[in-house]
Amino acid sequence: MGLGMGRARGSLAAACLRILLAAFCLVALICGGDGTSGAPYVTMRPHERVSSQPDSEALPQPLSDALNGPVEVPGGYGMSLTAHVGEHHVHASWTYVDGAPGLNTHVDSWLLGLLDAAAPAGNRYRPAMALNALQPGGQEMTVSAEPVQAAGTVIVVREKVKSSGTNGTGSVRSATVYVDTVSGELRSGAELLRPESVPGIQSRITGVPADIAAPSQQGPPVTDLLLSPSGELTVTAELPGRPGRQASMTMNARDTGAALSDYGRQVLGQLNAPAVPRPATAPALRHVNCDLVPCAALTYDDGPDARTTPQLLAILAERKAQATFFMTGSNTAANPSIAKQVADAGFAIGNHTFSHPYLTKLSIPAVKKEIERTDAAILSATGSTPTMMRPPYGAADAAVQGGVGKPLIIWAVDSLDWQSKNPAAFVPKVLKEITPGAVVLMHDVQPTTISGQQELISTLQGQGYQLVSVPQLFEGTPLTPGHVYRSRPARP
């Protein structure tokens, strides 16, 4: 496959150009082990031109597929982001895998590291930089982290950064990481190799004769390694002295075997094993990183309602938006099948008391009774007990906070939808006041609220907002019983 195809400068001597072109697309053919050093002996066969097609003999089909693009992983779900970060216009795309938290956390910290590095000096990346960022401008940077292999307990993710400079120059860097979805262990591609076999492989990747490379230059760091199930190893690395320019080579299975570490042999075994199933997470609890993407949590109170709640569910499903429903016990008891429909669709449900009183006007035993009766109604309808609550009118004092026994989820943006009963009033109000991390208050029992949801949701998504459930919004920041929450705190 063609790698690191930058524009050759006219100033290069013809012979040098020929060597560099060859280096961009090297396929190494293995002639046999030399029997003394332990490292395989390799001869190179340079291509005459830069080609996007792998050598059909040297590269077996399954591996070429893996090199050419992402694979579907059970439980995988794609994310993307466009952001203006400092001088950079960043497009990021990546895949989370449900039930593989080690992988998801790794991808998050890799992306946040890149975005922080792109931010102006003294600043960190903020999700607000990803709002209304569709217009290009500045230096284009494309980053991706996508699974390229998945078998046994192993998922292989290739991380890639492509930058294009203002003068037509460009660079690409890539690395592979290996994740064990059962143990959670995460290793770099370099760990597939015995340390002593690395220098030999490094020197073979570039194909640049030693006399034109600076004597001080080490071999390129070996970070992008892919094993085929039949044991061929393809190594891609940066050319020495040519930052951002890559070359790759493939070794046959026999010689790869001699270079593999114990870990590499374990991975090879896993690549030949059937994929191990992972338990599925409810959609409202699936991993989203709200320090990375601009999130908002739409919340709907006072239902469920037999007419309006199913209408809202249809809109949310169509827009692929998550949301949270704070149900009253009385309406849940009156419409248990609607509450079950909300739960079965994967949305988050909170406790909004039984009879919607001002809790600050009740005795603490009466507060507890409001909560317990509602828990019982929701449990009976949906099979689950809510882990969070919202006090009616947002009314809570220290005594109420101590009495409810759950985290209190208030809001950062009050739509006042119940008051205006007019989408032309509450939709602009929400759009004006919303910021990344906000909890937004609405009421699914109001027909006029439902009328405004298509416009509100599509506008927010068009701006770059990821609409998440309350548990997703606060992921990584524990929700403590008796504490009040209105929005996700920004990364320090």
By beta-carbon proximity to Ni ion, the closer residue of 8 and 395 is 395
- Give the pair of three-digit tokens for residue 155: 């998922």
Q: How many Å apart are CA 123 and CA 125, to the nearest integer?
A: 7
CA distances from 367 to 350, 353, 395, 441 (A): 16, 8, 12, 22
By beta-carbon proximity to Ni ion, the closer residue of 249 and 441 is 441
- The catalytic residue among 224, 255, 301, 302 is 301
* Per-residue mark of binding to Ni ion, 323-362 (x: CB under 5 A): ----------------------------------------
| Residue 302 contacts Ni ion per CB under 5 A | yes
Q: How many Å apart are CA 212 and CA 240, to the nearest integer?
A: 11
By beta-carbon proximity to Ni ion, the closer residue of 254 and 307 is 307
* Interface segment toward Ni ion; rule CB under 5 A; list 201-209, 305-313, 392-400, 466-474: 392-400
- The catalytic residue among 84, 89, 352, 443 is 443
Q: Is 20 helix (H, G, I), strand (E, B) or coil?
A: helix
* Interface segment toward Ni ion; rule CB under 5 A; list 105-113, 196-204, 277-285, 293-301: 293-301
Question: Interaction with Ni ion in 178-197: which residues (CB under 5 A)?
Answer: none
* Minimum separation from the CB atom of position 352 to Ni ion (A): 6
Among 255, 301, 370, 417, binds Ni ion (CB under 5 A): 301
* Minimum separation from the CB atom of position 446 to Ni ion (A): 11
Q: Check if the beta carbon of residue 116 is closer than 8 Å to that of residue 125.
A: yes
* Minimum separation from the CB atom of position 359 to Ni ion (A): 11
Q: How many Å apart are CA 452 and CA 428, to the nearest integer?
A: 10
By beta-carbon proximity to Ni ion, the closer residue of 108 and 302 is 302
* Minimum separation from the CB atom of position 128 to Ni ion (A): 30
Q: How many Å apart are CA 104 and CA 181, to the nearest integer?
A: 11
By beta-carbon proximity to Ni ion, the closer residue of 159 and 301 is 301
Is the peptide bond prior to 304 cis by the omega test (within 30 degrees of 0)? yes
- Compute and round to an integer the Cα radius of gyration of the chain: 28
By beta-carbon proximity to Ni ion, the closer residue of 257 and 357 is 357
- Distance from chain centroid for Cα 140: 20
DSSP conformation class of 69: S
DSSP conformation class of 192: G
CA distances from 381 to 265, 374, 384 (A): 51, 11, 8
Residue nearest to Ni ion (CB): 301
Residue count, binding to Ni ion (CB under 5 A): 3
- Give the pair of three-digit tokens for residue 356: 């919607």
Respond yes or no: is residue 301 known to be catalytic. yes
- Percent helix, percent strand, percent coil in the chain, to nearest 5: 35, 25, 40
38 Cβ partners below 8 Å, 6+ apart?
196, 197, 258
Q: How many Å apart are CA 356 and CA 105, to the nearest integer?
A: 40
* Interface segment toward Ni ion; rule CB under 5 A; list 76-84, 133-141, 387-395, 482-490: 387-395
User: If you search the block for the tokens 């991808």, which residue do you land on?
Assistant: 107
* Interface segment toward Ni ion; rule CB under 5 A; list 48-56, 221-229, 294-302, 304-312: 294-302
By beta-carbon proximity to Ni ion, the closer residue of 140 and 414 is 414
Rounded to 10 degrees, the C-alpha dihedral 131/133/139/143 comes to: 70
- Calculate helix-pair angle for 308-318, 453-463, nearest 10 degrees: 30
* Minimum separation from the CB atom of position 326 to Ni ion (A): 7
* Interface segment toward Ni ion; rule CB under 5 A; list 269-277, 292-300, 301-309, 476-484: 301-309
* Minimum separation from the CB atom of position 302 to Ni ion (A): 4
| Residue 417 contacts Ni ion per CB under 5 A | no
Is the peptide bond prior to 74 cis by the omega test (within 30 degrees of 0)? no
Q: How many Å apart are CA 323 and CA 316, to the nearest integer?
A: 8
By beta-carbon proximity to Ni ion, the closer residue of 181 and 331 is 331
* Minimum separation from the CB atom of position 330 to Ni ion (A): 12
By beta-carbon proximity to Ni ion, the closer residue of 81 and 298 is 298
* Minimum separation from the CB atom of position 335 to Ni ion (A): 16
* Interface segment toward Ni ion; rule CB under 5 A; list 157-165, 218-226, 374-382, 385-393: 385-393
Nearest to 141 by CA among 173, 115, 164: 164
Among 392, 437, 452, 464, binds Ni ion (CB under 5 A): 392
Angle at 49 between CA 246 and CA 11, to 5 degrees: 75
| Residue 310 contacts Ni ion per CB under 5 A | no
* Minimum separation from the CB atom of position 290 to Ni ion (A): 25
Contacting positions for Ni ion (CB under 5 A):
301-302, 392
Catalytic residues: 301, 443
